[in-house]
Structure formats: structure tokens, C-alpha cells
Chains A and B, each alone.
Chain A
Amino acid sequence: MLAYLVRRTMLAVVTGLAVLTLVFCIVRILPGKPSHVILGDFASQAAIEALDKRLGLDRPIWAQYVEFIHKSAMGDWGVSMVTDRPVIDEILRVLPWTLELTIVALAIGVVLGVPLGVWAALRRNGAADYAIRVASLLGLSFPAFVSAVLLLLLFAIQWSWFPVISARTGSLTAWVQSLTLPAINLGLINAAYITRVTRSAMLEVLHEDYVRTARAKGVPWGAVVWRHALGNAMIPIVTVVGLFLGILIGNSVLTEIVFNRPGLGKLIVGALNQRDYTMLQALMVTYTLLVVVVNVLTDLVYGLVDPRVKLQ
């Protein structure tokens, strides 16, 4: 177990380094020099050079790269070019909002998606299967901001069940109220993806010999489906849920914008609009870390759902 964790961490470090390199390249290679952007078109050459020096942009590219990697690893992500505050503080301040939203949404997705997917697989080509397939296809066709606008329109504006701006205040009710619509928005889209992968994973295992054997020896059908079949279908489900992370993050950005909810999404849009390069770089590092962490978690979950996977 320990050896496994060490090896996974090493692999995660390699992946992290690779993505950091990509981040570095994107920020450096793309046109639009930060100093020009910050100071505007009419800045003097001297002013630009001075700012370049302050930002360390006058040094050779490899030195910048080494410094970037070193500082990223040390958690020294610089100060915002706009607010002059350490970017890591800003990120840590809004990170819980985004995590809370994505975790609740993921839970909604699993709770709805797995049973629906199992049901559809059992009723293969029946009416329920068709209805679930079309509904889930419709669900994953929704751009997250369109569904968010519709939810906001119906439940917050038309019927006033929820606040239009979802920022929590003190009480538990306020927190639940502010989280509900954004979480439902993300959760339903997640459920659509999870339903589909559960259905196809179940269809594959339901034809396996051990399912027939279990039935033949008299295991109740319910236990066959939920323990034998679903247990074996969990691996592809977990894999795909792990791969959803990219989609989930993109969708959470859009959801946060529509519901005017604090989070990484609003932060990155603000940073893009203000050309806050240090903030952008730090956000990309944050996303990278999230991806790496989720990859490791996915692997650990493999071990939990499938005893054949030895974590070594």
C-alpha cells in the first residue's frame, strides 16, 4: 500500500510537471506580452523594461522556467497583477465554494445516474430504456449555462423559490438555498453522463458467465444485479467519472457565472478580462493539482470497488 502510494505520487509529480510545462509554454509563447498589456499601447520602452525586470521577464527563458517550477512547487505563486495580493490567498478563499459545488453535484450525479443506468440496462430496448437514453442524451446536450439560465428563470425569477444570486449568508437555510440551484444544474448534467456509462457498463457485464452462474445457483435477482453485476461494472464507471472532471470543471465555471457564485470560475474569468497573468498561471496550476489529485483518488477507488486491483 505504502509503495503504491509512493509510486502514484511520483507519477502524479511527473504529470504535474508536464502540465506545468504546458502552462509555462502557453503563457510565454502566446503573443501579447504582459508588460505591454498592463501598461497599455503608449507606454515608454523604459517603463516596459522596468516592469519586465520586476516580473522577471527580462531573464533567459530557461531561468524563468526553473524559477516558475520551483516557485509553483513551493506554493509561492506570486502576487496578483491587479490587486497586488498573494494569488494563493485569493484562490484558497474561493476554492471551498467550487469544491462544495462540484462535490455535491457529483453526489447528485451518482445518486441519480447509477440507479437510472442500471434500470435502463435491465429494461434494455424497452420503453424505460428508451426514455432514459433520450433523456440522458438531452441532459448531456445542455450547455451548462443554458440549463443554468433556465433553472434561474424558472425557480428563482418566475417562482422565487431560491435567491437569484447564490452567495451564502450565515444560516444553514441560506446555505442550502444558495447551493441548491447551482448543484442541481451541475448534478443533472453529471447524472446524464453517469447514467449512460452505467448503462453500457451494466450491459457488458450482464452477459458474463458469472452472472448466469449466480442466477443458476439461485442467488436472488436483486443481489445478482446490485452485487455481482454492478460490482463489476463499477470500474468503468469510476474511470469515466474520473475523466468527467475536465467537463465538470468547465461546467462549474459556467454555473458560477450564471448564479453569480464565488469560485474558481469567476476568478478565472476576472483574471482573463484583466489580463492578470500571475493569477491565470496560478489558477492553471490549481486546476492541474485538482486533476492530479482526482487521478490518484480514482486509482484508490479502484482498489475499493475491485479487490482484484492490488495497490502495489
Chain B
Amino acid sequence: MTSIGTPVPFDSHAAQPSLVRAFRANLLSLIGLVLFLAVMLVAAAAPLLTAYDPFVQDVTHKLASPSAAHLFGTDEYGRDIWARMIYGARLSLLIGLASTVVAIVVGSLIGIVAGRYGGRLDAFAMQVMDVLLAFPSLILGMIVVAMLGPSLANIILAIALTSVPAFARIARAPTIALKGRDFIEACRSLGLSTPRILVRHVLPNIFAEILVMGSLWLANAIRTEASLAFIGLGLRPPTPTWGGMIREGFDNILDSAWLAVVPGTAVLIVIFSLNLIGDGLRDAVDPKLKGGE
């Protein structure tokens, strides 16, 4: 049907089951999925998993080493690290997911519309996306957050802005590739409206790739959020964020190294699990990478 090299890798009927098959066949992405679900579960069940309040200070027990009472010790205000970690997970995941969803929706819309209509609109939109893409994303995020102020909505917006161009490009290429295909022509000759064709027939065909890239960009979004918080552009203290905790831990690194190491490991685990998922799935949905045959 498609010869090697034509960028039309997706078949609307095969997309769904192939994802399931991909997880079954690829041990690494399965491990990633299990790890990520475990983090989601811990974040969701945070109040059940600790007796401590992440905000309550107890200066008599400040900078305590890990012990039975405090699994990962306490920070410089005597707050329980484990409690702050699992409540921080909620924020990391929330910001990461929200910004990725915003970026997927806005980016795909731009990409599909640009790809569908082509011409000047396409050239202009892609030029804007290229400029955004060329600019270092962390710097862009830093500037937007610093100017708008570090509120939850602004951080989500800033991170989303840095990944919109990626999704616009991802959505545009297959849209153009699909444009000439028979079933789209058939839809048009049946008199279906353009938005209907885009939503019902184009979107499902590029969904698998968007999903794969979504998991990779979710990893990126979580990393950007942690980086911003580490720089001091995260949600304001005392809100527990992983990046903020690493920053506070870094200030005490000479005597209480675990303060930075524990949340650092948490960020790493989440990003690694998402990359494992995305990497395995990408192999599965991209026939070119299957290679060999």
C-alpha cells in the first residue's frame, strides 16, 4: 500500500490495537508505563500515604536524617520530605499534563489547519513556529514566567508555549500527506464539511503519532517545570514542588545532601518512565524504525 519512504505511516484501523500490541511486545515501555502509573497512584493517594502535612513546620526536628519517623528526613523548616515529595508529585503531574494537553490542542490545530489550507497561511504559520522552535525553550519559559508572574496558570501557559511548535509540525506533515489520499477525496465528494473531515478523518489518523510525541513532551514539560522551579521561577514557597525542593536542598548541600537527592531522583524517575513509554511506542508506530525487512 505505502512504499517505504512515503510519510503515511498510519492506518486508522490499525492505530489503536498497534498501541496495545506495542506495550505487550516492548518490555521497556511496559516498565515505563508501570512506573508512571505508580507515580500517578502515589500522587493521587498522597493523603493516605503520609501522616504529615507538607506545609506544617517543626523547627525542633529540622534537617533530620532519614529515619523511621521521617522516611526521607526533614527539611530546614522541619517539614517531612516524603510528604512534600508526594504532594509535589501532584503539582508536577498537573502542570506537565495540563501544559502538554494545551500544547497538543493548540499545536495540532495550527498544524492541521496550516497543512490543510497550505499556501501563504501555511508558510506564515510555520515561519512563526520555526522562530519559536529556534529560540531556546527554557529561556523562553523563564522570560514568560518572570514577566507574567509564577502562578499555576502562567507556568502552564509558558511551558505549553514552548512545545506548541513541535505539535504543529507533527500534525502538519501527516495532514499534508493525507490530503491527496483517496478516502479524504471520497469524504469531500460526499460533501462533508472541512471541519468534519479534519476532526473525524484526519485527526484519528495522526492520533497515534501525537500520543507518542505527547508522552515524550510530557517528560519535557515536567523537566521544564522542575528547571523553572529550580531557578526560582516555580510556584512560590511554601508550595511543595520538586524543583523548588531541589533548590532548597541545594542550599544545604554541604550537610544535608539527601534534601536535593531525593526529589532529584523523583524527577528523574518520572521523566525516565515517560521516555521509556514514548521511545517504545515510537518504534511501534513508526514502520521506518522497525527496519530490517
Residues of A within 8 A of B (CB): 15, 18-19, 22, 26-27, 30-32, 124, 133-134, 137-138, 140-146, 149-150, 152-153, 157, 200, 203-204, 207, 245-247, 249-251, 253-254, 257-258, 268-269, 272-273, 275, 280, 283-284, 287-288, 291, 295
The size bracket of the interface on B is: 35 or more
In B237-293, which residues have CB < 8 Å from any A CB? 246, 250, 253-254, 257, 260-261, 264, 267-268, 271-272, 275-276, 279, 288-289, 291-292
Question: When chains A and B are docked, how far (Å) is the Cα of A40 from the Cα of B126?
Answer: 40
Label chain A's interface by main secondary structure. helix
CB-defined contacts of B28 to chain A, threshold 8 Å: 133-134
Residues of B within 8 A of A254 (CB): 138, 227, 230-231
Query: How far is A257 from B228 in the complex, measured between Cα atoms in Å?
Result: 12
**Quick check: is B139 within 8 A (CB to CB) of the other chain?**
yes
Q: Are B127 and A18 in contact (CB under 8 A)?
A: yes
13 A–B contacts, CB within 8 A, in A order: A15-B134, A30-B148, A133-B28, A141-B272, A141-B275, A142-B268, A146-B226, A149-B264, A152-B253, A153-B253, A157-B257, A247-B136, A287-B139
Could you tell me the dominant secondary structure of chain B's interface residues? helix
**Identity of the chain B residue whose Cβ is nearest the Cβ of A20 in the assembled complex:** B131
Whether A19 contacts B136 by the Cβ 8 Å rule is no
C-alpha gap A250/B139 in the complex (Å): 6
Say which residue of B135, B149, B232 sits within 8 Å of A246 (CB atoms): B135
Any chain A CB within 8 A of the CB of B65? no
Task: For B279, list chain A residues within 8 Å (CB).
Answer: 133, 137
Task: Give the residues in chain B near A26, CB-CB below 8 Å.
Answer: 143-144, 147
Interface pair B268/A146, CB less than 8 Å apart? yes
A203 touches B291 (CB 8 A): yes
Q: Give the nearest-CB partner of B292 in chain A.
A: A207
Bound-state CA distance A261–B260 (Å) is 19
Judge whether A137 and B146 touch: CB under 8 Å.
Answer: no
Contact A149 B250 (CB under 8 A): yes
Asked if B142 contacts A272 (CB within 8 A), the reply is: yes
In-complex Cβ contact of A138 among B138, B142, B146, B272 (8 A): B272
Instruction: Answer yes or no: B98 CB below 8 A from chain A CBs.
Output: no
- Counting CB contacts under 8 A, is B233 at the interface? yes
Q: Which residues of A contact B232 (CB under 8 A)?
A: 269, 273
Cβ B230 vs Cβ A145 within 8 A: yes
Q: Is B50 an interface residue (CB 8 A)?
A: no
What is the CB-to-nearest-CB distance from B131 to chain A, in angstroms, rounded to a whole number? Answer: 5
Q: Are A22 and B268 interface neighbours, CB within 8 A?
A: no
**Do the beta carbons of A137 and B276 come within 8 Å of each other?**
yes
- The minimal Cβ–Cβ distance linking A241 to chain B, given in whole angstroms, is 15
Q: What is the CA–CA distance of A203 and B289 in the complex, to the nearest angstrom?
A: 8
Known interface pairs A249-B139, A283-B139; 20 further A-B residue pairs with C-beta atoms within 8 A, sorted by A's residue number? A18-B131, A19-B134, A30-B144, A32-B147, A133-B279, A141-B268, A142-B268, A143-B271, A146-B264, A149-B253, A246-B137, A247-B137, A254-B231, A272-B142, A272-B143, A273-B232, A280-B143, A284-B135, A287-B135, A291-B135
Q: Nearest CB to that of B223 among chain A residues?
A: A143
Whole-angstrom CA separation of A258 from B250 in the bound complex: 8
Whether B197 is near chain A, meaning CB under 8 Å from some CB there, is: no
User: Closest residue of chain B to A253, judged by CB?
Assistant: B138
Find out whether the CB atom of B148 lies under 8 angstroms from the CB atom of A22: no
Contact partners of A207 in chain B: CB under 8 A: 291-292
* Other-chain residue from A143, A157, A249, A258 in contact with B268 (beta carbon distance below 8 A): A143
B288–A204 touching, CB < 8 Å: yes
